[in-house]
Amino acid sequence: MRGKVLSGGADYQLIRKDGVTELSAHYTIETDNGVPIYVINRGYRHGSKEIVDKIFRGEDVPHDSYYFKTSPVFEVSNKNYDFLNRMMFIGEGVRKPTKVEVTFYQIL
């Protein structure tokens, strides 16, 4: 399944004193076949000071040079995707200079 994030929603970041960024995002994904899925996605991103500073400056860094994991919760009314309402998932994020990419994995 693939989709795009629709405009709107909210994205919050709390940067803790220990350098960990706590993430909380609320948004809607539209699947490639037009199904809207509401997402609440919380997680953590952290790495060395050097890597985190590059991320904040908008520089591209190797995806394996920092930790970026999330725990999404989905809400969808389409019966073809209703498994999303009752399963656990983990997200793995990649911070690009102009966007964030998250891949979700179902926990079986």
Q: Which residues contact 88 (CB under 8 A, 6 or more apart)?
A: 106, 107
- pLDDT range class, residue 1, cuts 50, 70, 90: confident
pLDDT over 70, % of the chain: 100
Considering its fold, how many domains does the chain have in total?
1
Q: What's the average model confidence in pLDDT over 25-39?
A: 97
CATH number for the domain harbouring residue 51: 2.40.160.20
Distance CA 6, CA 76 (A): 15
Pull the structure tokens for residue 5.
Answer: 């994030």
> Which DSSP letter does residue 73 get?
E
Q: What's the pTM value of the predicted model, to 2 decimals?
A: 0.88
If you search the block for the tokens 């809400």, which residue do you land on? Answer: 75
- Could you list the residue range(s) of the whole structural domain that residue 18 is in? 3-107
- pLDDT range class, residue 31, cuts 50, 70, 90: very high
Pull the structure tokens for residue 40.
Answer: 């609440």
- pLDDT range class, residue 82, cuts 50, 70, 90: very high
Distance CA 95, CA 70 (A): 13
